[in-house]
Chains A and B, each alone.
Chain A
Amino acid sequence: MKKVGLILVGLLLVFSAAAVAQYYDGLQDPKIYDLGSDEYPGLEAGVNGGTFYISAISNPKKWNDVTAHETSTTQYTNVMFRSLVTIHPQTGALVPELCTGWDISADGLVVTFNLRKGIKWSDGEVFDAEDVLFTYNDLILNEDVETDSRDGLALPDGTFPVMTAIDSHTIRLEMSQIFRPVFNQFTFNIMPEHKLADTVHKLNPAVPAGNFNEVWGLDTDPADLAGLGPFVVESYAPDQNVTMVRNPYYYAYDQNGTQLPYVDKYIILTVESQDVSLLKFRNGEIDALGIRPSDVPILVPEAALNDFEVKIGSGVYGTLWVSFNEDFGLGEGDPVKDQLRGLFRDIRFRKAVSHAMDKQSIINNLYNGLAAPQWATVSVPSPFYGGRDVYGGPITESSAVNYEYDLTAAAGLLDEIGIVDLDGDGYRDFADGTTVEFLLETNAGNTLREGFCLILAADLDDIGLKVNFQPVDFNTLVTRLLGGTLYEACVLGLTGGNDPNGGANVQRTTGGLHFWHYSAADEPYEYERRIDELYDLGLLTFDNDEAFGYYQESQILYATDSLGMLFSVNQQFTYAIYNYVGNQEIADVTATPSGNNGLAWDLVFLEAGGR
């Protein structure tokens, strides 16, 4: 009897211990998601288990997040690693991730991050300030390391924020001037010092310079990788699939104490052809798929029968535009080119083209209606998009500078410039009798861009402008675009993100991508000077509403005076997903400002459901 009593007491102890220690051993500051609360509306707490399948268009290139350059790699590394600060999957706001929060000093020059305590790497090692210092000081700021994250951290005066550790769980960041996007820039992923310190030439002179760039290639045994993210790589078969499994030490839990992610496995099939991806989705082999506008009519009739849904998300990050080179033939002394450049430099010409661009026809014919007109330089989903009335408010076009489709107005502007049809051939001529014609280029093979060019060329033909459309190889086009004086007119796209400062390289007169008017670096127009100023001002405040004011002014100025890029439309993210996938409300593109524009939900919430 005594024995039974002891066993009972023992069992009781075990159960109560289990009830208290619901987080893994040593984890003091777990990240708790209160799913379904106001903070995470539309979601609900779930159960662990199951496998989630999607497809990707190409193989990863490496497992090293710091030196990764494209989404084919970061779509994996972004779930293998975590950053100090992250973007809320639903609101787009910056929220603490590896830290519990941050303090900003009164003068705004010092930011202190408090790291979560007790977090472990996926191999069981403890995470602390050393890892953050290592990633920032020895990798990101190390010129020997090929990373895309460094340039965005440079303060306007050319210096970088200085990072030190106050103790093992407090990071201090000191800046020479206020730098609002600092939190956005600290979304780079933290790498394990204990695994990688020896591979960096700066810390270990025994390895050759540049060695870190070759670390964690595809031939690395997945067991040798360590991350802080929800998933770890289990296996990789080139051209076939990447299998990821849950990280036993992931520090995030739901309100019931269930460790995230909900799914046990996350398998990404490598499917090069989008047509085949579509077939695989219809065949039930993958659970969700980002689809093209042209796929919608194929999928919608099947949706109810096969229990999936076609969802129309919000706009995607990035822009699609046509640009006229205001420096075309500059310095060559060719009178023909000078004449054309003179026309391109006339704002009335660019306004006329804006009026002649039939955005509704582009939306209907190329995007099956799944797009919205874009009017400003910042990406539509960004809270800084100039078309909105208020910062963070719903997308409306009311405060944007709009150029409605109006061929009469367009023709009127061209008449005003003085280019009219002199010889009666239907095309407008310069005063000397030569026909106004120019070359419009885009990269061959991109059907949406080619379609945009064709519609635009037809519209311009209607107002008497002779457009010679020519699709060219992408690299040729980029070389011509960056060559400064070479291209005449071209259609291309740029990636974008939440923070307008990500586009500073394009907007600033000294920027490397100020391609429509490179000579502005020496001789800026008045409005370009002002845009430069506004981009400075936007950095120097932590008040987002104030910053929005500056960026809105710059976007309005760009639309009224510059029009270096004439924006077309913003595609809506469209995807198909089977109804058995739980918490799919999170599957919205607003969660992925990385410019991925594809399937990169915050996967931790998804439930595999019964396949």
Chain B
Amino acid sequence: MITYIIRRTLYMLPLLLIVSLLSFAIIQLMPGDYLTRSRLNPDVTQETFDRLAERYGLTEPFIVRWWTWLVGIVTRGDFGLSFETKRPVYFTLFMGNRLWWTLLVSLTTLILTWVLAIPIGIYSATHQYKTSDHVLTFFGFLGLSIPNFFFALVILWILVAVVKIRRFGLGVSGLFDNQYVEAPWSLAKVGNLLWHLWPAWVVIGTSAMAGLIRLMRGSLLDTLALQYVQTARAKGLKERVVVYKHAVRNAINPLVSILGLQLPNLVAGSLIVARVMNLPTVERAFFTSLQAQDEFVIMGGLLFFSLFLLLGNLIADILLAWVDPRIRYT
């Protein structure tokens, strides 16, 4: 198992290398470059822009730039400077605890989604085609089908224009209300944070839940139809034991692989909600760099997300081996 993990980790290096080359090439396909956006500024002459392009290395062929960038990483651990902020890439992407806020938002959402989706899936499977199954499925799909940005705006609009939360001195979007931004941590401040996070949980959660519910429901239905479940029932076990001890434990395998694959979603999966709800997440910084064609920040972000994807895959495989004794890696 250890050798397997080590081997898989080593495989990641060439993979990341190829990912970086491909990403670099794709970035070059974007029209223009970092400077194009500002070239319509009448105050600055085109000669000045041309000089800047040369200074930023934008006039060199992309393979040369990719190589210079790679050499910087390998020899100095230098991922380059952001054109926009003139700060190192990792600072531009992660400053202000962005990574921790991202993980906090995504992890809490993930946990909430799973804690709700699995019991609902089980309930749906054990109450197949009953009214309650249809109602739950309907709401699951409703959440899936409303576009996130729209749903997020609608929630905020309802709070402001319908509920009129200013009567209660509450605010919308961001992490805190104005009066808590600079206040030291307290119970009230945590409460205020929760008030600001719940709309994000609802929006991201509802969009992810429907799929999980269907998966759990389908997987459990398959398992419940198997012969060993029939045997368990035949020998007189209680229905609760049949379902939870025998069926669910086997039906949950596909969800475990999904869990691993959701790891990259922790850092990249809530962009739209984060933009509307004003949450300080890594992918918002990444999105800003995309809009500005801030090349090295885009590359840094892509590498970071790819790394999470690879790690997620690895963790999924390990988890699977752990929950399912039939799977063994050598």
Please list the residues of chain A having a beta carbon within 8 angstroms of any beta carbon in chain B: 53, 58-59, 61-62, 67, 69-70, 143, 146, 148-152, 210, 213-214, 217-219, 235-241, 243, 267, 269-273, 275-276, 279-280, 282-285, 473-476, 478-479, 481-482, 492, 494-496, 502-506, 512-513
Q: How far is the CA of A475 from the CA of B181 in the complex (A)?
A: 37
Chain B residues lying within 8 Å of A239, measured Cβ to Cβ, are: 96, 98, 278-281, 284-285
Q: How far is the CA of A283 from the CA of B156 in the complex (A)?
A: 10
Chain A residues lying within 8 Å of B84, measured Cβ to Cβ, are: 61
Contact (Cβ within 8 A) A494 B31: no
The one of A240, A280, A513 that contacts B171, using a Cβ cutoff of 8 Å: A280
Contact (Cβ within 8 A) B166 A219: no
- Interface assignment of B189: CB less than 8 Å from any CB of chain A: no
Q: How many residues of B contact A (CB 8 A)?
A: 58
Among residues 279 to 308 in chain B, which have CB atoms less than 8 Å away from a CB atom of chain A?
279-281, 284-285, 288, 293
- Interface assignment of B54: CB less than 8 Å from any CB of chain A: no
Q: How far is the CA of A503 from the CA of B96 in the complex (A)?
A: 39
Contact (Cβ within 8 A) A269 B41: no
Contact (Cβ within 8 A) A475 B44: no
Please list the residues of chain B having a beta carbon within 8 angstroms of any beta carbon in chain A: 30-33, 36-49, 51-52, 55, 81, 84-87, 91, 95-96, 98, 153, 156-157, 159-161, 165-166, 171-178, 181-182, 275-276, 278-281, 284-285, 288, 293
Contact (Cβ within 8 A) A148 B31: no
Contact (Cβ within 8 A) A282 B178: no
- Apart from A210-B55, A238-B98, A479-B31, list 11 A-B contacts with CB within 8 A: A69-B41, A146-B55, A151-B48, A238-B95, A238-B280, A272-B278, A276-B156, A283-B172, A473-B31, A482-B46, A495-B40
Contact (Cβ within 8 A) A214 B43: no
- For the complex formed, measure the closest distance between the CB of A280 and the CB atoms of chain B, giving whole angstroms: 7
Chain B residues lying within 8 Å of A496, measured Cβ to Cβ, are: 42
Contact (Cβ within 8 A) A240 B278: yes
Chain B residues lying within 8 Å of A481, measured Cβ to Cβ, are: 40
Q: How far is the CA of A276 from the CA of B279 in the complex (A)?
A: 13
Contact (Cβ within 8 A) A151 B174: no
19 contacts between A and B (CB under 8 A): A61-B85, A62-B86, A69-B38, A214-B81, A217-B87, A217-B91, A237-B96, A239-B278, A239-B281, A272-B278, A275-B276, A276-B173, A279-B157, A280-B172, A482-B39, A494-B40, A503-B42, A512-B45, A513-B42
Contact (Cβ within 8 A) A267 B178: yes
- Nearest first, the 7 A-B pairs at minimum CB distance are A475-B32, A512-B46, A238-B96, A239-B280, A476-B31, A475-B36, A475-B31
Q: A280-B172, A478-B36, A482-B46 are in contact. Are A213 and B86 (CB under 8 A)?
A: yes
Contact (Cβ within 8 A) A214 B86: yes
Contact (Cβ within 8 A) B98 A283: no
Chain B residues lying within 8 Å of A473, measured Cβ to Cβ, are: 31
Contact (Cβ within 8 A) B172 A279: yes
Residue of B nearest to A503 (CB): B42
Chain A residues lying within 8 Å of B161, measured Cβ to Cβ, are: 279, 282
Chain B residues lying within 8 Å of A69, measured Cβ to Cβ, are: 38, 41
Residue of A nearest to B275 (CB): A272
Contact (Cβ within 8 A) B172 A276: yes
Q: How far is the CA of A269 from the CA of B95 in the complex (A)?
A: 17
Q: How far is the CA of A150 from the CA of B280 in the complex (A)?
A: 35
The one of B43, B55, B85, B96 that contacts A148, using a Cβ cutoff of 8 Å: B43
- For the complex formed, measure the closest distance between the CB of B225 and the CB atoms of chain A, giving whole angstroms: 48
Q: How far is the CA of A137 from the CA of B160 in the complex (A)?
A: 52
Contact (Cβ within 8 A) A478 B32: yes
The one of A151, A213, A273, A280 that contacts B43, using a Cβ cutoff of 8 Å: A151
Q: How far is the CA of A401 from the CA of B284 in the complex (A)?
A: 47
Contact (Cβ within 8 A) A217 B156: no
Chain A residues lying within 8 Å of B171, measured Cβ to Cβ, are: 280, 283, 285
Interface centre among B174, B177, B275 (most CB of A within 10 A): B174
Contact (Cβ within 8 A) B48 A279: no
Q: How far is the CA of A238 from the CA of B87 in the complex (A)?
A: 14
Q: A53-B178, A475-B36, A479-B31 are in contact. Are A273 and B275 (CB under 8 A)?
A: yes
Chain A residues lying within 8 Å of B43, measured Cβ to Cβ, are: 148-149, 151-152, 502, 505
Contact (Cβ within 8 A) A505 B31: no
Chain A residues lying within 8 Å of B46, measured Cβ to Cβ, are: 482, 512-513
Q: How far is the CA of A494 from the CA of B38 in the complex (A)?
A: 11
Chain A residues lying within 8 Å of B178, measured Cβ to Cβ, are: 53, 267, 269, 285
- For the complex formed, measure the closest distance between the CB of A194 and the CB atoms of chain B, giving whole angstroms: 22
Residue of B nearest to A217 (CB): B87
- For the complex formed, measure the closest distance between the CB of B43 and the CB atoms of chain A, giving whole angstroms: 5
Chain B residues lying within 8 Å of A502, measured Cβ to Cβ, are: 42-43
Residue of B nearest to A154 (CB): B45
Q: How far is the CA of A284 from the CA of B175 in the complex (A)?
A: 17
- For the complex formed, measure the closest distance between the CB of B301 and the CB atoms of chain A, giving whole angstroms: 15
Chain A residues lying within 8 Å of B293, measured Cβ to Cβ, are: 475
Q: How far is the CA of A598 from the CA of B98 in the complex (A)?
A: 28
Contact (Cβ within 8 A) A505 B86: no
Residue of A nearest to B49 (CB): A512
Contact (Cβ within 8 A) A218 B87: yes
Q: How far is the CA of A279 from the CA of B162 in the complex (A)?
A: 11
